[in-house]
Copies of this chain bind each other. A is one copy, B any other.
Amino acid sequence: MGPKSNLPQPDIVGRALERIGKKPLLDETCIVHRAFALLADKWTLLVLLALMHGRKRYSALQRQIGGVSPKMLTQTLRALEEHGLVEREVFPEVPPRVEYALTDFGRTLSEPLASLCEWAVEHEGRLRAVLASERSRG
């Protein structure tokens, strides 16, 4: 986002870490630590990713995110709503309809999320191998 592009080193992580500040690293007041605490959750990233496609109903989310129980989906959505990343809209209809959508703030996560997705897709072969060997050992 920042037009700060004349840095000599191509070390993307180094650059990002420099921007974090001069903290030792990752102590609990560090914003990166805090941010990861919000996102690094079993369902949160998947819900955000699902909503990147656009506004969705509760039941659509439940169908698309395989394995999520209604309880955890609701819980995850409520947390995202509290954090200002997702908006919840209730339609007073019968049968009831509830829709969820990313807020503007939520949409700012599209780049990091897409980056993670691309990583997963790019390394699918190795990942599947890792996961397979993990299962065989229990």
A residues in contact (CB < 8 Å) with B: 1-2, 12-13, 15-17, 19-20, 24-42, 44-46, 49-50, 52-53, 63-67, 82-84, 105, 108-124, 126-128, 130-131, 134
Contact = CB atoms under 8 A, between A and B. Distances in A.
B35 A120 contact: yes
The majority secondary structure among interface residues of chain A is: helix
A28 B127 contact: no
Contacts of A112: 112, 115-116, 118-119
A4 to B, nearest CB: 11
A92 B60 CA distance: 55
A36 B26 contact: no
Given A17-B114, A112-B112, A116-B116, 15 more contacts: A13-B114, A13-B117, A19-B117, A20-B120, A25-B53, A26-B49, A27-B66, A32-B49, A35-B119, A38-B130, A40-B41, A83-B134, A111-B119, A112-B116, A112-B119
